């Protein structure tokens, strides 16, 4: 009588081993997927923080570059130039529209500007004294330009490249400034937590002060 053919298939032991291997591979795949998603979220948060800081920095540079502009004699308002200068704040004036004043509300809108770093709030604020949008109760109020800021550093240089370090700058030293360096460090935030920082910086020449003191 011929022998009975052996039936094809898996034994219970083989099935259990195969299932275990498959589960391990699935777990490894899910782990890699989770790491990839975490990395993507982190990169997205860092990119957003950098974009926010860069936008604010560009705004500051545009304001500060025209410091000191005075195409005609000034008959009202602050004299164009740097009015105060610290490591974390600056107040400037410029007669951008060439009308001889720097203090007329909604006419000299961007001609008297103050930037300040508030370390307790983690913000850089912009105060435009002549812009009615900044007015509240008859007085100008600062508006937040950038939030989640870790630090702001402003450095001042004269036309020889020498850094002016006696801060806040005296009136005499403020008149010597021809170049600024601005460094902003912002926090990267994920799910309400700070997970790192990003840094943006810019060096700018004050257009109307380049030939001063030569």
Q: What is the pTM of this model?
A: 0.79
DSSP string across 57-119: HHHHHHHHHTTT--SS---BSSPSEEEEE-SSEEEEE--TT-SSBS--TTTSTTSEEEEEEET
130 occurs within a structural domain: yes
76 occurs within a structural domain: yes
- Report residue 136 as tokens: 């509240």
135 occurs within a structural domain: yes
92 occurs within a structural domain: yes
Q: How far apart are the first and last CA of the chain?
A: 117
201 occurs within a structural domain: yes
Q: How many CB atoms lie within 10 A of CB 15?
A: 11
Provide the residue count of the chain.
Answer: 214
Condensed to tens digits (0 to 9), the pLDDT of residues 42-79 reads 678 888 889 999 999 999 999 999 999 999 999 999 99
46 occurs within a structural domain: no
* Position 104 pLDDT exceeds 70: yes
Q: How many CB atoms lie within 10 A of CB 211?
A: 8
1 occurs within a structural domain: no
Number of domains in the chain: 1
Domain that holds residue 96: 52-209
15 occurs within a structural domain: no
Instruction: Look at residues 91, 99, 105 and name the one whose alpha carbon lies nearest to residue 71.
Output: 99
């Amino acid at each position: 009588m011929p022998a009975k053919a052996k039936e094809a298939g898996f034994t219970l032991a083989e099935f259990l081993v195969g299932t275990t291997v498959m589960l391990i591979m699935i777990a490894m795949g899910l782990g890699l997927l989770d790491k990839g998603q975490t990395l993507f979220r982190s990169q997205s948060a860092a990119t957003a923080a950098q974009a926010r800081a860069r936008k604010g920095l560009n705004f500051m540079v545009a304001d500060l570059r025209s410091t000191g502009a005075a195409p005609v004699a000034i008959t009202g308002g602050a004299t164009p130039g740097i009015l105060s200068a610290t490591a974390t704040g600056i107040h400037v004036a410029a007669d951008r529209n060439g009308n001889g004043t720097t203090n007329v509300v909604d006419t000299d809108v961007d001609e008297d500007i103050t930037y300040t770093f508030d370390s307790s709030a983690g913000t850089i604020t912009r105060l435009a004294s002549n812009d009615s949008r900044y007015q509240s109760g008859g007085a100008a109020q600062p508006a937040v330009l950038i939030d989640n800021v870790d630090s702001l550093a402003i450095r001042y240089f004269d036309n020889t490249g020498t850094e002016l370090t006696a801060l806040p700058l005296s009136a005499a030293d403020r008149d010597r400034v021809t170049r600024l360096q601005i460094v902003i460090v912002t926090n990267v935030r994920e799910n309400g937590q700070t997970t790192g920082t990003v840094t943006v910086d810019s060096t700018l020449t004050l257009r109307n002060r380049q030939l001063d003191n030569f």
